Chain A
Amino acid sequence: MTEATVPNQESVFTSTARDWSSDITTFKGVPWGKAMMWIFLVSDTFIFTCFLVSYMTVRMTVTDPWPNPSEVFALAIPHELFGWQFLEAPIPVPLLLIAIMTFILISSSGTMAMAVNMGYQRNKKGVIWLMLATAAFGASFVGMQAFEWYKLIVEEGIRPWGNSMGAAQFGSFFFMVTGFHGLHVSAGVIYLVIVALRVGLGHYDKTNFEIVEITGLYWHFVDLVWVFIFALFYLW
């Protein structure tokens, strides 16, 4: 048995037990900020869980019919652009806008992961550009969400307190939950831009780039929540 393989011999249970029974830190090598972000995300998970469980309860018990998501959220492909007609008539595609939004948000997780990787390599330029790209993806997500809200409110007449298609709770929950998630994304965009700027200004040159990873944790969390919202609001 060589020395290098000794740590591998230890089971997960043994090492966890050793860390938890040790002094100073419980999570070895985890900086304070990262630990705190993890705990915050646990708390935030419960906020979204409560929102989504409430939504599921009400949706399962409400007696009025629930509006059909694939109709409500359909987006028509235009048949002409700038006077150039390329289709006979507009084609309504269910969930088109949402597919694009989801794709963008998932992609932003990819750029965020790359930014974290650049952080480990202390590649400042890479970190800044990838974080700004992530922020741009996030901002475009929020923009598209605003467009979707506009479409629902102005074109389809859906209001938080009622709509012509069925249960009033459809609009209530949709606007509340996506609004709350949108606020999270917006806050994340601001957070990303601030951290990117501070990286650029050299605030972290003397220490390390763990802040990039912490920001990344938050961002991945917001993306993960979106997956659940997407499944429960658009696919159910």
Chain B
Amino acid sequence: MATAEIPYQETVPLHHPKTWLGKWVFSQDHKVIAVQYGITAMAVGLVALVLSQLMRIQLAWPDAMPWFGPDEYLSAITMHGMIMVIYLLTAFLLGAFGNFCVPLMCGARDMVFPFVNMLSYWVYLVSVIVLLAVYPLMLFTDVQPTGAGWTLYPPQTITAGTPGADWGIVLMLASLAIFIVAFTMGGLNYITTILQARTRGMTLMRMPLTVWGIFIATFLGLIAFPALFVSAVMMLLDRLIGTSFFMPAIVSLGQKLSYSGGQPLLFQHLFWFFGHPEVYIVALPAFGVVSDLISVHARKNIFGYRMMVWAIVAIGVLSLIVWAHHMYVAGMHPYFGFFFATTTLIIAVPTAIKVYNWTLTLWRANIKLTVPMLFALAFVLTFIMGGITGLFLGNVIIDIPLSDTYFVVAHFHMVMGVSPILAIFGGIYHWYPKLTGRMLNDTVGKWHFYITFIGTYVIYFPMHYLGFVGVPRRYYETALGEVYPDFYPASAHDLNVFITCAALVVGAAQILFIYNLVHSFFWGRKAGANPWGANSLEWRTPDTPPSHGNWGEQLPSVHRWAYDYGVPGEETDHIPQDVPRRAAS
């Protein structure tokens, strides 16, 4: 049945900025906002990178930095974790990729409410400034950044034994609340655009998997971030006016505090009701991006598209009922363990299907080993490693000896640190030509890839074994003079030194990436409209880089799914989505 529906965006005029400021700074163009999000996230990510290097140096050579005491160490782990999870990964995958890909891949002229979208970025910037304000404040006042760990478990977070329990934590919580406001404004836009502003012929089941990943991830964000918001508000009240939401009667460092009757476990439930979906908020867009990269560069349709979509949906739904697997040793009711271990291991099935389908896409493909493809392949292997160690930790009884050890650190860095970052790198190498009109340098890109992939693998793979030995995470140092000498073998310390060396190399290698981004922007090879021979709509814009409004006079019409690669009997190995089907012969 031919639809007579006219896309609403064809009937409304687009907002066109008149000034330079309106075009490039307070821009309502989704592509500019995507770049703003991306640059801010990368900048704040560099702070996290430096912090991680400091922590690694401390662990390998405990006496190397006398000024880096337990307070500084704990502040570093907290800030590093929070930045990576929220301000880099969430902001980059949804703020930058979401903004860039959603309208282009759906065939929209822009987000449905560009002004709200612009506000989203500026509020995000405010949250970043509030977060990092603690560092300049540290120089002039006695405010310390909070050292509560990124999980912010009370009562520790706001009692005197923790660095930054006075104002550092207030800044952190305020920044989180502001970030959630920013995310909500952006997220509402992504979902409404995907649901209500697609172009002719673009049905949901023709959307590229990147859009599907972003769609479900944003939806998860909109129902998970409220839990973080609520817990942040309650903790702020505990800290600032002395309510006892999370605070029972305690004696902190010899002093009786005036709290009574609160529940520390309530915070953990709220936090992980946010925290577990957050893992998938980061992972699902990465899944989507990698699916598209593999299909495009292997010149073959993604294997089992429908299964891939339903796997994303299933993972999204299941992720809302697995949160307490982070709390197996938290002292909650023991019977929760049965339920949450079961749901957690069920989630492994759709996730495994995605991995199979990525691998099967390579079968009888025609693989071009471009830089984005390298990152996508590395993602798959890293994700398998991170995923199967998740099967250890999700199984409640195995979590008992391994929780709070370096096994956990290795697992979550593999699965939600390295994997999404490899996907982000792959995505940047893939879409940079469309965004700027120039290719990134291949040689520099390959060096960057090999060092990053091998480097991160040798950092985190051996780290699992430190966890088996029993090295607890978040320890400033493990040997304490003669009263308590080191409790693990000296060889394990050698391993720590090796890991630190690898980490330093990987950290330094990121300079290559930044150099590549900047250098290629000015002097890179001209890209042309569709350098990879890809099918999805963003490669079919009349201009490269796409102009404001993306599509010129006429919105594109979609006639097929995004994965028509290698169709038998065609002259080219790819047929873009807006090419009409031939009449049946």
Residues of A within 8 A of B (CB): 20-28, 30-33, 35-36, 39-40, 42-44, 46-47, 49-51, 54, 57-58, 61-64, 160-161, 167-169, 171-173, 176, 180
Contact B3 A176 (CB under 8 A): no
B138: CB under 8 A from chain A?
no
Q: Which of B181-216 contact A (CB under 8 A)?
A: 184, 187-189, 191-192, 195-205
B237 CB within 8 Å of chain A: yes
Q: Knowing that A22-B5, A44-B226, A46-B222 touch, tell me 20 more A-B residue pairs with CB under 8 angstroms.
A: A21-B205, A24-B7, A25-B5, A26-B195, A27-B196, A32-B196, A36-B113, A39-B191, A39-B222, A42-B223, A46-B227, A50-B230, A50-B270, A58-B261, A160-B242, A160-B243, A161-B241, A168-B244, A169-B244, A176-B233
B342 touches A (CB below 8 Å): no
* Most chain B beta carbons < 10 A, residue from A23, A40, A64: A23
A161 nearest in chain B by CB position: B242
B195 touches A50 (CB 8 A): no
Min CB distance B246 to A, Å, is: 9
12 A-B pairs in the complex with CB atoms less than 8 angstroms apart = A21-B204, A25-B8, A26-B204, A32-B113, A36-B188, A39-B191, A42-B222, A58-B261, A62-B261, A169-B245, A172-B245, A176-B233
Cβ contacts under 8 Å, A64 to chain B: 260-261
Residues of B within 8 A of A169 (CB): 243-245, 261-262
Check if A54 sits within 8 Å of B200, measured CB to CB.
no
Query: Quick one: which of B250-282 are within 8 Å of A by CB?
Result: 258, 260-263, 266, 270, 273
Would A35 and B196 count as touching, CB distance under 8 A?
Answer: yes
Q: Is B125 an interface residue (CB 8 A)?
A: no
Q: CB-nearest residue of chain B relative to A46?
A: B226
> What's the Cα separation between A173 and B243 when bound, in Å?
9
Report chain B residues within 8 Å CB of A33.
113
Q: Mark B72-96, 1 if CB is under 8 A from A, else 0.
A: 0000000000000000000000000
Cα A51 to Cα B225 in complex, Å, equals 13
- Residue in B191, B201, B203, B229 whose CB lies within 8 Å of A21: B203
Chain A residues positioned under 8 Å from B7 (CB to CB): 24
CB distance from A51 to the nearest CB of B (A): 6
Q: Are B204's CB and A54's CB within 8 A?
A: no
- Which of A20, A27, A35, A40 touches B184 (beta carbons < 8 Å)? A40
Say yes or no: A22 contacts B203, CB within 8 Å. Answer: yes
Contacts of A43 in B (CB 8 A): 184, 187-188, 222-223, 225-226
Expressed in whole angstroms, the Cα–Cα distance for A32 and B115 within the complex equals 14
B314 within 8 A of A: no
Task: Return chain A residues, CB-CB under 8 Å to B423.
Answer: none
By Cβ-Cβ distance, the 9 closest A-B pairs, closest first, are A46-B226, A172-B243, A50-B230, A161-B242, A47-B226, A43-B222, A32-B112, A26-B195, A36-B192
Task: Let me know if B54 is at the binding interface, CB within 8 A.
Answer: no
CB distance from A29 to the nearest CB of B (A): 9
Contact residues in A for B237 (Cβ distance below 8 Å): 160, 172, 176
Quote the shortest CB–CB distance from A71 to chain B (angstroms). Answer: 20
Interface centre among B223, B233, B245, by most chain A C-beta atoms within 10 angstroms, is: B245
In the bound assembly, the distance between CA atoms of A174 and B404 in angstroms comes to 36
A20 touches B112 (CB 8 A): no
Given A35-B196, A47-B229, A63-B261 in contact, is the A23-B244 Cβ separation under 8 Å? no
Bound together, the chains give a CA A169 to CA B266 distance in angstroms of 13
Query: Measured between alpha carbons, how far is A125 from B560 in the docked complex, in Å?
Result: 49
* A215 shortest CB reach to chain B, Å: 16
Interface centre among B231, B234, B244 (most CB of A within 10 A): B244
Contact A23 B226 (CB under 8 A): no
**Chain B residues positioned under 8 Å from A20 (CB to CB):** 204
